[in-house]
Structure 1
Amino acid sequence: NSEMLAVSFDEKKNVYRANQLLKIFNCAESIKDNPTESLPNLPKKLLRTSKYLEHPIFNSYHSETEMLRYLKRLEDKDVALNRSMIALGSCTMKLNAVAEMIPISWREFAEPHPFVPVEQMEGFRTLFTDLKNWLRTITGFSGVSLQPNAGAQGEYAGLMVIRKYHLERGEKNRNVCLIPSSAHGTNPASAQMVGMKVVVINCDKEGNVDFEDLKKKTELHSENLGALMVTYPSTHGVFEEKISEICELIHKHGGQVYMDGANLNALVGIAKPGNFGPDVCHINLHKTFCIPHGGGGPGMGPIACKKHLEIYLPTHPVVKDCGPATGIGAVSAAPWGSSSILSISWMYIKMMGSEGLRLATQIAILNANYVAYKLKDHFPILYKGSKGNVAHECIIDIRTIKNETGITEEDIAKRLIDFGFHAPTMSWPVPGTMMIEPTESESLSELDRFCDTLIKIKSEIDKIKSGKYDKDDNPIKNAPHTDLELASNEWHHKYSREEAAYPSEFLRSNKFWPPVARINNVYGDKNLFCTCPSMDEFKEDAA
């Protein structure tokens, strides 16, 4: 303010730099090299009294050589994309190319404070403008905000935009949000956070939104209908063939359509959400546009919207021109979210170009259908479109196998580790299933290796069914197998060490050894819990 200037320092600055700054402002005082300043403004109950960083790991590696070897040992304990494909459904674990990642290490991107005067950051301004324009072109929408930090935050921001749209029209009663039962769990959570009442819409046996149930509940809540949240392609791995009719129905009854962009990797370059009905959607830059998202982040979930909602996009109290003055306010602490990682998506789009982006989508869909076709005689494919195809992912059904043999989707996931593969998404969105999304990053040989592995596991399941393998003591129920277990003098299982560790020939030249055997999941489940309510609970509330 007019009387005080506040300055913040990061951990890399030292007393010398602080004194330089004081000299610039012509201060007579300076900071001593070994300051012993007290901080009386900190509450005593918040001050740490215990010791910290006492584990030997924090004081064991004193050279780059030692540190590199330590990090390599940690890496060898993990199944990552540099070892094999990660087929997590609805996660889009595609390649994060080195060329895309390099700029985030540049100080020009890594060091600026989020509130730095914009006139000093013209390069960032150019990056923001390019990204917004490209995302407008890709989605077919009019307005874009880069502020939301994640997909769920994008949902929240999009629904807040819709909520303000209704309020500005004098329709504060429009607080009902229709959500299909196949939705991501964050959908109902976001709706409740903006003060909306969740009403669940059923899905039909093909995995689509049950149009008759949607029509019935839309008419029932017509007067108070605020929004529909719909994922396209659906979380069931199929394209909603009535998506335009669904949007028209909601608009007819005064509602807005929020499209969950989690599966945008099946649309880029082929279809634009802004052209087939939705009013607003979020875009997962950490999935579709290559920002890494393993290990908890960071993510970016920009939202895009039609012209009539553009004036309600997020703004910020510190950097005034990051959004419209009539916007919903800030949804993130920083005006452009995690801006330092936006260069990754900028690089991806710039290098791919429009033709490359379209080809990537086509290959992603082709790969998913190849996997579905190759596995269909061994595992039922739960949902398909009217022409027998899937979108960018497919769901294999394990429930019959479980009933006949006792082998669960979790057992199959554990056995995949013996083959060096990360498991697909388990029991979501349908319990007792596995959802597979190969992305466009995988070659035909890797797809074959993955499919052949699942087929091999299915042959082991058949041996359990026929009685050749013991129902309880078999390679699947005891997976994964560690090197210590295999090297032990004692082996008490009813199958061989070779069947445990080398069930396929390719493992002899490319073997991943899991660092731990199977853990007690039941104990873990009992001691950790999720507070997110299931879709069924919302269903009961609506009834």
Structure 2
Amino acid sequence: MERTVTPRETAYDPYDFANRRHIGPSPEEIQAMLETVGAASLDALIDETVPSDIRQSRPLDLPSPLSERGALDRLRETANKNRVLTSLIGQGYHGTIMPPAIQRNILENPAWYTAYTPYQPEISQGRLEALLNFQTLVADLTALDIANASLLDEATAAAEAMALAHRVTKTKANAFFVDAQCLPQTIAVLKTRAEPLGWEIIVGDPFVDLEPDKVFGAIFQYPGVEGAFHDYSGVIAALHESKAFAVVAADPLALALLKPPGEMGADAAVGTMQRFGMPMGYGGPHAAYIAVKEAHKRALPGRLVGVSIDARGNRAYRLALQTREQHIRRQNATSNICTAQVLPAVIASMYAVFHGPRGLRAIAERVHRKAARLAEGLESLGFKISPGAFFDTITVDVGPYQGLVMKNAVDNGVNLRKVGADRIGITVDERTRPDTLEAVWRAFGGDQLAYSDDYPDSRLPRTLIRQSAYLTHPVFHMNRAESEMTRYMRRLADRDLALDRAMIPLGSCTMKLNATAEMLPITWPQFAEIHPFAPADQALGYAEMIEDLSEKLCEITGYDAFSMQPNSGAQGEYAGLLTIRAYHKARGEGHRDVCLIPASAHGTNPASATMCGYKVVVVGTDEIGGIDVDDFRAKAEENAANLAAAMITYPSTHGVFEETVRAVCDITHANGGQVYLDGANMNALVGLARPGEIGADVGHLNLHKTFCIPHGGGGPGMGPIGVRAHMIPFLPGHPETGGNAMTVSAAPYGSACVLAISWSYLLMMAGAGLTQATRVAILSANYIAARLSAAYDVLYTGSNGRVAHECIVDTRPLHASADVTVDDVAKRLIDCGFHPPTMSWPVPGTLMIEPTESETKEELDRFCDAMLAIREEALAIEQGRYHRTNNPLKNAPHTVEDLIGEWERPYSRECACFPAGAFRVDKYWPPVNRVDNVHGDRHLVCSCPPIESYVKAEPTKTKETARVSND
């Protein structure tokens, strides 16, 4: 008789280095940690921590683990199933050239890709400067006043602009006009965003069909998907007369030559910066942009980098107007944005620094000349070309020969775009070469045509040639010798603290190892150079990878299918709730619009629900931090006729495995609702429990948390949603691939290129490794809780006194006894060489700590030693040995500048700069002292100011805002 195998008996060899890649503590360290937490074994600890009624009954059924070499061989084999043709499809995606210096020093550099969102400005000055450069780049190119630090993609940026328009306009109209020449994926995402909110989308010709008094706003594509562009000044003026809002979706490279949206009177501009150095990657990741007039700066969605000063009056960068962050506004949010595309935005900014304004203009001119040469050749063959004026895109009338020409093009190694039944669209780009043009001519029957170096006539109308300057700041005029560029990128990296330097113990955000072997494939051309709308038979490797990754995630979660479309965790929430909404509507229960959300839920949960048109009903928490089941049941029954969903996070954001989770799911189902389980804390579940078996109907996974895609300083992210079988028909679709009309991202599979990272992780870890990683993550959190419990209260524990994969440490008593705030503790940890834990969330005045499985016992001890030393410093204040307002905690963080000049503080320089946990030789020095947030918001500067404006100013007392990311 075959014996049943339980998860704890699966084959995991702790001495196999390949298995231990992601697991920091050695077997000996694990044993020592277990002794500290008072557990007889790792199995015993898990039994005490994870409720037995949610434990999965069998180990994960995944193939045996591959070595690094084996995994890379598998990825190479899969990648080679993709066919890399020259794609001239356009439609928002272009061939581009990433300068090798940027590829090596930014994209492939863990100092950049392992950093967290720059909420702690003192340790993020490098990224913040690069993002300020990005904002300046966008504001200059669009000729608008202010830009944010990037959005997910052009389509969602357009949707955010539409929402902004509705928010700021005073018209009573409830319709939004969309230029028919907008990208098809943009139109699809706009329709998806508008429908639950009751907004009408009108698609048409802005010069024929637009009635300004009937809309609250309009968006125009510049240039349009078929290549035409117009001066929209008159149309925009008419919109303004009716108090409506004007958005222009503009190609940023075209703006190097063409009149910018701001000079047409546009209120906002959106677009993608993909062609500024980021490969197509089958859809992403790419940084989108949004820029607005000065009047709308406080309504601008997403993150905004601003200039402020530090405690010494020196220039410092930080995130400005942070109360706009959506997790703070919760159900009053206007967006659920939580992830930007920071790493791609940094690359775009460096691309602009590398080329400068003259270089960008030269690239744009070359692109236009290629398009003009192409058009001349096709015209010489007798084909009709439209439009008459174009930048990089032409449309060719081929009559009944569309299919033949498309096939000929592929046979010549080129992808073109079908337009209707009898035309073909062609978009040239930075990578287009003379032999590319000759291949296109051959596809159209021009075998004898040869490329000529003679300059063709310009096809740009003189009335729309750009006259204004851009990128005038000195950073875009630096000496671009590679030595200087490399040093500039290195200087910025040295100002930041990322995972390559130290542990980042952020609760909720799971900052774990991003193994180098997992990162390598994303730069392979077979993954990087595939257009998201390339023919399916050219992306067979992607199809295989996505299918296998989906199957593995289904096995891990207990769901029956996955959609890879959402580009972030918050977007995954939105897509999951839209799936629930579509399910109810199909059953004739579209009136269901109430969403129950615990008070402890991620802040993006209520924001996502609001975007879906749902009414949020907040459920209380009990005395141990779990869902108050009685309150939940009462509100579910009270709203039974209209209950659509309940959103829960498991384990809870209080770091506890709630024992009532099945009851919560049952109550929801009994009252007609569906359960959305937020997968942000999946790092505590993999191999131990499956959400689909617990009772969840749908949920997202943060691949950039549990499944090792790096945070990239705040993005990219991926938030695919898993569903049970009854939800499958309602998953997102896409205009290029069909399926459900609901579309949430510009590309069918979101930022598909980075899926290779998570797939590599699963191939190398396999079932036993994944399960062990979860067990060690839980052990590490309990180890920190045990070591700190004598000095700090650990707020929430389960019935056996255990925490899940994170714990909440209460620093509020220090405020009462020593006037030491959670901010002071966080900034002092920077002196110790650590990124602070999550501050004041979900409980104000506390620190939420998540060590993950990747950190060694030595690093965990270094962090605990630092925290215990900080408690001793607070004790010294309590006892009068330290001054109450002039002490190491209040003055933290300390910089190299504190080592020079006069020293009048009542504690030593050594105490200030070398506290417990800090390295002596390899110490991290923050480049600025504590940043003055109030000064930055009072004197809002969000683009590169002139050098002479950097003068010392008088700091003001500031209090930092609580914040945390669901991405």
Q: Do they fold alike, i.e. is TM over 0.5?
A: yes
Structure 2 equivalent of residue 538 of structure 1: none
Q: Is 1:447 paired with 2:866? A: no
Cα distance between partner residues in 2 of 1:395 and 1:305: 31
Q: Find out whether 1:73 has 2:486 as its counterpart.
A: no
Question: Pick from 466, 481, 487: which aligns with 2:900?
Answer: 487
Any residues of structure 2 matched to 1:438-477 within 5 Å, and which?
Answer: 438-477=851-890
Amino acid aligned to 2:615: K
Do the aligned residues in 1 keep the contact of 2:610 with 2:616 (CA within 8 Å)? yes
Say if 1:376 and 1:48 are closer, same or farther in 2 by CA, change over 3 A. Answer: farther
1:116 aligns with 2:534: yes
Other-structure match for 2:458: 37
CA distance in 2, matches of 1:19, 1:528: 52
CA contact (8 A) 1:15 1:32 kept: no
* Matched AA of 1:176: V
Is 2:707 aligned against 1:294?
A: no
Compared with structure 1, are the counterparts of its residues 59 and 363 closer, same or farther at alpha carbon in structure 2 (3 Å cutoff)?
A: same
2:843 aligned with 1:430? yes
Any idea what SS the aligned residue of 2:423 has? coil
CA offset at residue 192 of structure 1?
1.1
Code of the residue aligned with 1:59 in structure 2: it is M
1:25 aligns with 2:444: yes
Q: Which of 815, 821, 835 is the matching residue for 1:408?
A: 821
Select between 293-302 and 125-134 the one with higher mean Cα deviation: 293-302
In 2, Cα distance between equivalents of 1:495 and 1:382: 32
Match of 2:424 in 1: 5
- Identify the range of structure 1 (8-17 vs 238-247) with the bigger mean alpha-carbon deviation: 8-17
2:671 to 237, 253, 274: 253
Q: From 728, 746, 770, give the equivalent of 1:333.
A: 746
2:588 is aligned with what amino acid? G
- In 1: Cα distance, 2:804 partner to 2:467 partner: 53
> Is this contact kept in 1: 2:684–2:805, CA < 8 A?
yes
Task: Please list the CA deviations of residues 23-79 of structure 1 after superposition, one character each: whole Å capped at 9, or x if unmatched.
Answer: 4433458675645624349978xx57232154246532412x443333222222111
Report the CA distance between 1:512 and its aligned residue: 1.1
Change (3 A) 1:29 1:84: same
Give yes or no for contact 1:146–1:301 (8 Å, CA) kept in 2.
yes
What corresponds to 2:832 in structure 1?
419
Return the match for 2:925 from 502, 510, 513.
513
Cα distance between partner residues in 2 of 1:528 and 1:312: 44
Q: How far apart in 1 are the matches of 2:939 and 2:801? A: 42
Structure 2, unaligned stretches of length 5 or more?
Answer: 1-418, 942-961
Q: Determine if contact 2:593/2:615 at 8 Å carries over to the other structure.
A: yes
Assess, with a 3 A threshold, how the Cα gap between structure 1 residues 453 and 525 changes in structure 2: closer, same or farther: farther
CA gap 1:278/1:24 in 2 versus in 1, 3 angstroms? same
Distance in 1, matches of 2:537 and 2:736, equals 14
- Unaligned stretches of 5+ in structure 1? 536-543
Distance 1:505 1:393, change over 3 A: closer
1:359 matches 2:746: no
Letter in 2 for 1:7: I
> Does the aligned pair in 1 maintain the 2:711–2:717 contact within 8 Å?
yes
Letter in 2 for 1:156: Y
Is 1:343–2:725 an aligned residue pair?
no
Pair 1:478–1:355, CA change in 2 (3 A): same
Is 501-510 or 490-499 further displaced after alignment?
501-510
Evaluate the alpha carbon distance shift between residue 253 and residue 5 of structure 1 in structure 2; reply closer, same or farther with a 3 A threshold: same
Q: Is 1:146 aligned to 2:559, yes or no?
A: no
Conserved 8 A contact 1:238-1:383: yes
Deviation per CA, 1:431-470: give whole Å up to 9, x if none: 1011111111100000000000010111011101111000
Distance (Å, rounded) in 2 between the aligned partners of 1:522 and 1:109 = 45
SS at match of 1:369: helix
**What residue number does 1:220 align with?**
638
Task: Assess if the C-alpha contact under 8 Å between 1:164 and 1:328 holds in 2.
Answer: no
On the 8 A contact 1:160/1:328 being kept in 2, the answer is no
Q: Is the Cα contact below 8 Å between 1:161 and 1:328 reproduced in 2?
A: no
Amino acid at match of 1:86: I
* SS of residue matched to 2:644: strand
Q: How does 1:126-137 map to 2 (within 5 A)?
A: 126-137=544-555
Q: How does 1:193-208 map to 2 (within 5 A)?
A: 193-208=611-626
SS at match of 2:647: strand
Alignment of 1:246-325 (within 5 A): 246-320=664-738, 325=739
Cα RMSD (Å) of the superposition? Answer: 2.1
Per the alignment, in what secondary structure is the counterpart of residue 827 of structure 2?
helix
The correspondence of residues 49-60 of structure 1 with structure 2, limited to 5 A, is 49-52=468-471, 54-56=473-475, 58-60=477-479
The alignment of Structure 1 onto Structure 2 pairs a total of residues equal to 522
Equivalent residue for 1:385?
798
- Looking at structure 2, the residues matched to 148 and 41 of structure 1 have their Cα atoms a distance apart, in angstroms, of 41
CA contact (8 A) 2:597 2:648 kept: yes
Shift of 1:19: 4.4
Contact 1:312–1:328 at 8 Å: present in 2 too?
A: no
Helix, strand or coil at the partner of 1:7: strand
Residues 366 and 12 of structure 1: is their aligned pair in 2 closer, same or farther, counting only changes over 3 Å?
same
Q: CA deviation at 1:304?
A: 0.6
Q: Distance in 1 between matches of 2:760 and 2:820?
A: 44
Structure 1: which amino acid aligns with 2:749?
Answer: W
**CA–CA distance in 2 between the matches of 1:293 and 1:369?**
25
* C-alpha displacement of 1:148: 0.8
Residues 595 and 646 of structure 2 are in contact (CA less than 8 Å); yes or no, is this contact kept in structure 1?
yes
- State whether residues 734 and 741 of structure 2, in contact with CA within 8 Å, keep that contact through their aligned partners in structure 1: no
Distance 1:297 1:353, change over 3 A: same
Structure 2 distance, partners of 1:50, 1:61, is: 20
Alignment partners' CA distance in 2, 1:498 and 1:340: 47
* Alignment-mate amino acid for residue 37 of structure 1: S
Q: Give per-residue Cα distances to partners, 1:344-389, cap 9 Å, x unaligned.
A: 0010000001100001111111101101111011111111111111
- Alpha-carbon distance in 2 for matches of 1:35, 1:212: 76
One-letter identity of the residue aligned with 2:608: S
Q: Which residue of 1 aligns with 2:935?
A: 523
Amino acid paired to 2:571? Q
Q: Secondary structure at the match of 1:351?
A: helix
For residues 3-37 of structure 1, what are the alpha-carbon distances to aligned partners after superposition, in whole Å with 9 as ceiling and x for unaligned? 32112344333455334433443345867564562
Q: Which moved more, 1:185-194 or 1:515-524?
A: 515-524
Verify the 8 A CA contact 2:863 2:917 in the aligned structure 1: no
Are the structure 2 counterparts of residues 379 and 18 from structure 1 closer, same or farther at C-alpha, using a change threshold of 3 Å? farther
TM-score (norm 1): 0.92
Aligned-partner Cα distance in 1 for 2:473–2:812: 48
Q: Say whether residues 1:170 and 2:588 are aligned partners.
A: yes
Which residue is 2:610 aligned to? Answer: 192
TM-score by length of 2: 0.52
Deviation at 1:524, TM superposition (A): 3.5
Partner of 1:181: 599
Greater RCO, CA 8 A, separation 6+? 2
Equivalent pair of 1:363/1:440 in contact (CA under 8 Å): yes
Q: Does the CA contact (< 8 Å) of 1:18 and 1:31 recur in 2?
A: no
Q: Partner of 2:878: helix, strand, or coil? A: helix
SS across alignment from 2:888: coil
Which residue identity does 2:432 align to in structure 1?
K
Q: Which residue identity does 1:155 align to in structure 2?
A: E
How far residue 184 of structure 1 moved from its aligned partner, in angstroms, is 1.1
Rounded to whole Å, the distance in 2 between the matches of 1:233 and 1:519 is 34
